[in-house]
Amino acid sequence: MHSIARKVEILFWINGIKAVTMDKIAQECRISKKTIYKLFGNKESMVQRIYSHVLDRIRQQQESIFRNSVDAIDELLQSTHLFSDLKAHFSKAVFDDLEVQYPDSYRQLIHFRDEFLFAFFRNNLERGITEGIYRHGINTELMARHQTMNAWLYWREDVYPAEKYSTEELRQQLLRSQLYGLVSDKGKKLLQKNCNSN
């Protein structure tokens, strides 16, 4: 079922969710519509299951990064690869269709943004301050909200179109400008060392 879900997700990314019919899914996956309905139920439940899985995987990977990262800067740098991964799953067409056609799945995405992402950024800021590599005096709640909304815009192809900005360029430019505004003198040395090694 995972391979079928992945194929469907790619179809959604390329065409948007609305434009992909159950007939098209059956044709591309080389299975009958009856099998699709047996596996996923209706299209709405299919959409919800596919994107729930994506978000759950991101959460698990983030928890692993937190456990294995050296410090707050390392955690944030590693985490941007996850944000790039999200961008690879949520094209502009997918965002738009979720918002208009699949409100339950869209609410799930907004919850992920407002709860998980916000908590990640706030915890990272608090960790960096404790480690002495982010400046003292940062309003962690305010900055975490700012970072969360910046990350949200980062995924939006209508804001940063893929044909104009590569994922790696976005990751490097936006993250480094953000980090240089947060780091202490100690953190700046760590960040420069990290940038020089990449």
The CATH number of residue 180's host domain is: 1.10.357.10
What six digits make up the tokens of 196? 């020089």
pLDDT at 154 > cutoff 80: no
Residue 19 lies in a domain: no
For residue 178, the model assigns a pLDDT of 86
Residue range 180-197, pLDDT digits in tens: 999 999 999 988 887 666
Local structure of 183: helix, strand or coil: strand
Single-letter residue type at 67:
R
For residue 20, the model assigns a pLDDT of 92
For residue 162, the model assigns a pLDDT of 77
pLDDT at 37 > cutoff 80: yes
For residue 87, the model assigns a pLDDT of 67
**Any idea what DSSP says for residue 10?**
H
Q: Are the C-beta atoms of residues 151 and 86 closer than 8 Å to each other?
A: no
Local structure of 69: helix, strand or coil: coil
Query: Residue 1 — pLDDT band, cuts 50, 70, 90?
Result: low
Residue 102 lies in a domain: yes
Residue 160 lies in a domain: yes
Enumerate long-range contacts of 2-5, CB under 8 Å, 24 or more apart: 4/29, 4/31, 4/36, 4/39, 5/46, 5/49, 5/50, 5/53
Burial 18-41 (b: 16+ CB within 10 A, else e): bebeeeebbeebeeeeeebeeebe
Report the alpha-carbon distance of residue 48 to residue 67 in Å, rounded: 29
Residue 24 lies in a domain: no
Q: How large is the average pLDDT for residues 118-131?
A: 96
For residue 27, the model assigns a pLDDT of 92
Query: Residue 68 — pLDDT band, cuts 50, 70, 90?
Result: very high
Q: What is the mean pLDDT of the chain?
A: 88
Instruction: List, in order, residues 6 or more apart from 176 with CB less than 8 Å away.
Output: 191, 195
Residue 10 lies in a domain: no
Q: Are the C-beta atoms of residues 126 and 120 closer than 8 Å to each other?
A: no
Query: Residue 133 — pLDDT band, cuts 50, 70, 90?
Result: very high
Residue range 95-106, pLDDT digits in tens: 889 999 999 999
Residue 2 lies in a domain: no
For residue 152, the model assigns a pLDDT of 82
Residue range 83-94, pLDDT digits in tens: 766 666 677 788
pLDDT at 157 > cutoff 90: no
Ranking 91-100, 102-111, 135-144 by mean pLDDT, the lowest is 91-100
Q: Are the C-beta atoms of residues 29 and 8 closer than 8 Å to each other?
A: yes
Q: List the domain range (segments joined by +) for residue 174.
A: 43-197
One-character DSSP codes across 90-137 = --HHHHHHHHHH-HHHHHHHHHIIIIIIHHHHHHHHHHHHHHTSB-TT
Residue 25 lies in a domain: no
How many structural domains are present in the chain?
Answer: 1
Query: Residue 115 — pLDDT band, cuts 50, 70, 90?
Result: very high
Residue 108 lies in a domain: yes
Report the alpha-carbon distance of residue 150 to residue 40 in Å, rounded: 34
